[in-house]
Amino acid sequence: MSVPLVFDGKVVIVTGAGGGLGREYALAFGVRGASVVVNDLGGDIKGGGKSSNAADKVVEEIKAKGGKAVANYDSVEDGEKLIQTALDAFGRIGAFINTFACISDLIHRVHLRGSFMVTRAAWNHMKKQKFGRIIMTSSAAGIYGNFGQANYSAAKLGLLGLANTLAIEGQKYNIHCNTIAPTAGSRLTETVMPPVLCESLKAEYVAPLVLWLSHDQCQENGGLFEVGAGWIGKLRWERSQGRIVRKKNQGMFPETVRDQWDNICDFTNATKPANINESVATLVEVLSRVETDEGIAPNPTSAMATAASGISPVSGEKLPESTFSYSQTQCILYALGVGMSTKDDDHLKFLYEGHEDFSCLPTFGVIPSQAAMMDGGLGSVPGLNFDFTRLLHGEQYLELFKPLPTSGTLTSQARIADVLDKGSGAVILLDVHTYSGKELLCYNQYSLFIVGAGGFGGKRTSDKSTVTHPNRTPDAVMTDTTTRDQAALYRLSGDWNPLHIDPSFAAMGGFKSPILHGLCSFGFAARHVLKQYANNDASRFKSIKVRFVKPVLPGQSLQTEMWKEGNRIHIQCKVSSFIMVVWNCPLTRGLKSELVFAEIGRRIKDLGAEMVKKVNAVFGWEITKGGDIAAQWIMLNLSGALHKGPYSGKTDVTITVSDGDFMEVVQGKLNPQKAFFAGKLKVRGNIMLSQKLEVILKDYAKL
**Which positions are catalytic?**
152
How far is 696 from 688, CA to CA, in rounded Å? 13
> Strands 681-685, 653-658: parallel, antiparallel or unpaired by DSSP?
antiparallel
CA–CA dist 51, 35 (Å, integer): 22
Pick from 589, 581, 586: nearest CA to 611: 581
Distance CA 528, CA 339 (A): 10
- Residue 576's nearest CA partner among 623, 649, 524, 644 is 524
CA distance 664 to 670: 5
Residue 457: Cβ within 10 Å count: 12
- CB-based contact 247:293 (threshold 8 Å): yes
* Pairing label, strands 132-137, 95-98: parallel
Tell me the CA distances in angstroms from 44 to 24, 47, 75, 81, one per residue in order: 18, 5, 14, 22
Please tell me the distance from the alpha carbon of residue 69 to that of residue 17, in angstroms, as a whole number: 12
Are 298 and 263 in contact by the 8 Å Cβ rule? The answer is: yes
DSSP strand pairing (175-182 vs 224-228): parallel
d(CA 214, CA 219): 10
What angle is formed at CA 96 by the lines to CA 162 and CA 512, rounded to 5 degrees?
55
* Cα 110 to Cα 103: distance, rounded to the nearest angstrom: 10
Contacts of 580 (CB under 8 A, 6+ apart): 596, 597, 600, 601, 604, 608, 635, 642
Q: Rg of the Cα trace of the chain?
A: 29
What residue type is 466 in one-letter code?
A: T
Of 328, 96, 103, whose CA–CA distance to 214 is shortest?
96
Rounded Cα distance, 591 and 584, in Å: 17
DSSP type of residue 668: T
Question: Cα(337)–Cα(491) distance, rounded to whole angstroms?
Answer: 8
Please, what's the largest Cα pairwise distance for the chain? 90
No. of H helices and E strands in the chain? 22, 24
| Residue 277 contacts residue 270 (beta carbons within 8 Å) | no
